[in-house]
Chain A
């Protein structure tokens, strides 16, 4: 395996679940709901996805099931914050912990078992390019779908009516309500979409990346997802750049260590975080534009006028 091929392939594998889950979180936050339970939703998706592959052998069913079960968890979160007007931060933390615990419980009989890796789908011609081809174009299909989904989401927020409604609800739920949009419904659907994508991302890690399930294997990736959305200043393109940047930096760290260069490894371990923060901060130096991008009602409790 050549070094460059390894870096490219490793980056795609590390960044894809982050990107998928970050797009989901972005949808929820654009509608004004801060959902901090991503770690739990990803863990649950990973456990369910893994179990489905073990029992049925179908990877597509695994992504679907992982996504749907995480959607249920997101529905619980949505019910508490939208109907019971619970605090979003506290509820998100609680539901996240619940998700991690549920995943450990459900996944207990499958602890440290392995499944065969998901079949790859090399893209014809492109995957034959030396060095770059096997690195970028010989992956499972979700790796190609993730950036396409990002493109779709960018279009949705910029040009579609639905995207504009979601943004309007996130900016001013009162005004949206006044002109006749169903704020609760829009927000609930946004939260559910976020849950589904987080579940798919979790299932990706357990069935397409590690091919094993173990409690705690998400290892903080859910929190990186939340950070990516904030540092990406709620813009699809920047969130995507952040995800791939984090992916490549985390691979570079391991690569530098494996070449035996005498740099302290704790320093290297911090590189992905530092590099991503610095790069995104440079991209969004203009504080005024950050404030423009941040959904105004993010995290606020909204009580529907009677």
Chain B
């Protein structure tokens, strides 16, 4: 008797709950695709923080699906299709190589909003986003020029794509602004992911006298580890890595996608999403420089903060003329600044970098 009562009560409760959920709006599905695993730090982690920001803001109104560590290619295309079939209304594609598959899908589903990392093709429902990391690296370069005693800066870089080349140039310009005699040395890994090789490259640069390293596009703290062990400074990409190198991290150039993701999703919800080309820098907060090392004096930090404010307000520009490349060709006349299309297609090194660009 009592058991039956309980069952009846349970059924009644379930029915009530069912009615309640049915009257509530279905949560909107958002899907995120990452090329690498979400770790404590790195590219995928920063994207995932953006997803968490959406969840925090919209609460139960969203339901997110995350698929991580998916190589570009057929697997990615299959998973994107699945995301759309499962009813995703907002899709974030976290790698350049997802572009063509993503575009095809976007054309087939004009009602779904797509945002794609570092691509260059947009449609009405397919937007792209890129960070002006070079602005952050300019600030890191200022700090590097201030602290270097050997007048040698070493850069460990993945591939010579425009984004990385722009960062190298920004570092060079900033370092030479503070320390005109400093030498800038680069090692190109020609590999997106090889932590042991990145570490050997870091040691090679240290053996050539570098006492400040830049880790461009290493997702793991590989170079930070070496810097900490060898007692040199390092500026790294993506996330705050000061936990891995409490003494060695001079600054971390961080990508913060939270605001952009929230705005894009809001637009998709409201039905006025428009595929655009978002290029976020210091001004929009998409690029932040954090974890400034305590070894920097108040005065040095003040100079850097001033430069940051000037860049953010547009008073100054990283690639302001006069600007010459390695061969002495003038790339920007005095009084002009380099247009965006040249910054995002950069395939030349500024005057003063030793080493050449892989072509």
Contacts and interface: CB of A to CB of B under 8 A. Distances in A.
Interface of A: 1-3, 5-7, 9-10, 13-14, 104, 108, 111-114, 117, 205, 209-212, 214-217, 219, 221, 250-251, 254-255, 257-266, 269
Given A214-B193, A217-B193, A257-B204, 7 more contacts: A10-B200, A108-B37, A210-B222, A217-B195, A219-B195, A258-B204, A264-B356
22 contacts: A3-B207, A10-B203, A111-B39, A112-B221, A210-B195, A210-B199, A214-B39, A214-B220, A217-B193, A217-B196, A219-B191, A257-B204, A258-B154, A258-B185, A258-B204, A259-B208, A260-B186, A260-B354, A261-B355, A264-B359, A269-B188, A269-B190
A114 to B, nearest CB: 6
Contacts of A269: 188-191
B225 A257 contact: no
Interface residues of B, number: 46
Contact of B204 (A6, A104, A219): A6
B355 A257 contact: yes
A112 B207 contact: no
A98 to B, nearest CB: 16
Contact of A257 (B39, B186, B229): B186
Contacts of A210: 195-196, 199, 222, 225
B204 A251 contact: yes
B203 A6 contact: yes
B204 A265 contact: no
Nearest to B154: A258
Interface in B187-230: 187-191, 193-197, 199-201, 203-208, 210, 219-222, 225, 229-230
Q: Which 6 A-B pairs have the closest CB atoms?
A: A260-B354, A6-B207, A112-B39, A111-B39, A265-B188, A254-B204
A262 B197 CA distance: 20
A251 B39 contact: no
Nearest to B229: A117
Contacts of B201: 254, 257-258
Contacts of B187: 254, 257-258, 265
B211 to A, nearest CB: 11
Nearest to B358: A265
B190 A219 contact: no
A139 to B, nearest CB: 14
A255 B204 contact: yes
A214 B203 contact: no
Contacts of A104: 37, 69
Interface of B: 36-42, 69, 154, 160, 183, 185-191, 193-197, 199-201, 203-208, 210, 219-222, 225, 229-230, 244, 354-356, 358-359
A111 B36 CA distance: 10
B79 to A, nearest CB: 16
B203 A1 contact: yes
B42 A112 contact: yes
Contacts of B154: 258
A219 B222 CA distance: 14
A214 B195 CA distance: 8
A212 B226 CA distance: 11
A25 to B, nearest CB: 19
Contact of A266 (B190, B199, B205): B190
A271 B253 CA distance: 33
B220 A212 contact: yes
Contacts of B206: 1, 6
B200 A254 contact: yes
A2 B195 contact: no
Contacts of A255: 204, 207-208
A258 B190 contact: no
Contacts of B222: 210, 212
Contacts of A114: 221, 225, 244
A77 B15 CA distance: 54
A19 to B, nearest CB: 15
Nearest to B356: A262
Given A215-B37, A219-B191, A219-B197, A3 B356 contact: no
Contacts of B225: 114, 210-212
Contact of A258 (B42, B191, B208, B359): B208
Given A112-B41, A112-B219, A212 B195 contact: yes
A208 B233 CA distance: 22
B40 A112 contact: yes
A104 B71 CA distance: 13
Nearest to A14: B200
Given A111-B37, A112-B221, A258-B185, A250 B197 contact: yes
A62 B221 CA distance: 21
Given A112-B220, A210-B199, A219 B207 contact: no
A1 B356 contact: no
Contacts of A113: 39-40
A216 B193 contact: yes
A10 B202 CA distance: 11
Nearest to A117: B229
